Amino acid sequence: MDTFLIQGGRPLAGEVAVSGAKNSALPALAAALLTAEPVVLERIPAVRDIGTMESLLKHIGAGVAVDGGTVTIEAGKLNEPEAPYDLVKTMRASSLVLGPLVGRTGRARVSMPGGCAIGARPINLHVSALEQLGARISQAHGYIQAEAPGGLRGSLVHFDRITVTGTEDVLMAAVLADGETVIENAAREPEVSDLAALLTKMGAKIEGAGTSTITVKGVAKLHGARHAIIPDRIEAGTFLIAGAMTRGDLRIMNCEPAHLHALVARMRQGGAEIVEEGPNALRVRAARRLEAADITTEEYPGFATDLQAQYMAMMTAANGISFITETIFENRFMHALELMRMGATIRIEGRQAIVAGVPALTGAQVIASDLRASASLVLAGLVAQGETVVDRVYHIDRGYERIEEKLRGAGAGIERRGQAAAGKA
């Protein structure tokens, strides 16, 4: 099992490049199931979840060719419209194939999602929406079975709560449905807009992506397309925080500044200097210790829950007391205990964490519990006194492409130990 060894106390400087968004690439890969023609996706990150999705597409019957960051999917025949447990048990995004499979083939069998233990992501929202489109749904033995032998039909779909993957799943199901589908209380995340952009290139008729109401007019058939995935805003935000925490001077390249407004506003409030340099770059500088600033996680365009753990790590070394309120997932403070092992002062009260900044964190051996928690521990290790060892970094490999190499290129004292590192030798 791989670990990261981190020597803290080194300011980050120079440049670091952001990869394509994992949370955009996953639904894009699933969307390729909607046509028999080739779909070419560019800027696909080499992370574990992507590899899992590619294996799933092959199992279903699609051809998958990987050439660096470009992936070509050709789903001519879908002989096995199923997402088996053994393939998807480590990935939350397995439910993304439910909509395109039942939309194109009239049937799908998908294992209940696995992945990070950060709280409930109820698939009942997906299921209820697909039922409104005419699918017959049953559940048994840990699987969701969906059938629509006569095809799906357009309908009004209203989500009781905002769900990103639910919006994406229904969007993919609706593009081949008979008639018009209106999705109300839809997620507005950039990843949803990116999926809609791909589907439109494939011949879908979609209006309103990026707003809370999306209208889809079903078409009989989709065709192939080429599409470049948007930059990963969570990776970009992680690097912004790293630059500020280490009191460095770091330029984040290949990012989309407009996707980071909520984070940038809070970091500026805390004393970080962040400026846009060109249309796709941000530069962060922090000559002194940051000041505490409160956050509350919200759906986009609010503060992203996927940056909450990293932000907490930054607040552990800031002046003053900050209140961090988590409204999206009910079990997303597991990193707090590991940060406390490094000397952080944190009190958890329900969905709120109260963080009192300390003069310095100290290196320790810590364990990653999920994808974003592992990133927070890496960030804490970058500023801690002495050596930090982060175990179970397979979590971070699910969503960050070569993060240790990128950080090391900016001056961080970080190296990987274990099987992956040995394989590179």
Distance CA 13, CA 242 (A): 10
Distance CA 114, CA 88 (A): 7
Q: Where do we find the tokens 């639904």? A: 27
Torsion over CA: 23, 29, 30, 32 (sign): positive
Distance CA 257, CA 164 (A): 21
Give the burial string for 31-64 (b: 16+ CB within 10 Å, else e). bbbbbbbbbbbebbbebbbbebbbebbebbebeb
Q: Which is nearest to 88 in space by CA: 119, 56, 58? A: 56
DSSP states of 291-307 as a string? Answer: BP--EEB-STTSB-GGG
Q: Which is nearest to 244 in space by CA: 362, 404, 382? A: 382
Active site residue 255: no
Which residue in 56, 96, 116, 336 is the catalytic one?
A: 116
Q: Where do we find the tokens 């048990």? A: 89
CA dihedral 256, 257, 262, 263 (to 10 degrees): 90
- Reduced to 3 states (helix: H, G, I; strand: E, B; else coil), residue 226 is strand
- What letter represents residue 204's amino acid? A
Sequence-ordered alpha helix ranges (H) in 89-184:
98-105, 124-132, 164-174
Distance CA 346, CA 354 (A): 6
Distance CA 371, CA 243 (A): 20
Q: Half-sphere exposure (CA, 13 Å, Cβ side) for 102?
A: 29
Neighbours of 230 (CB within 10 A): 23
- CA 57, distance to chain mean position in Å, is 19
What single-letter DSSP state applies at residue 243?
A: H
- CA 329, distance to chain mean position in Å, is 14
Name the token pair of 282.
Answer: 């941000």
Distance CA 193, CA 233 (A): 14
Task: Give catalytic residues, as residue numbers.
Answer: 116
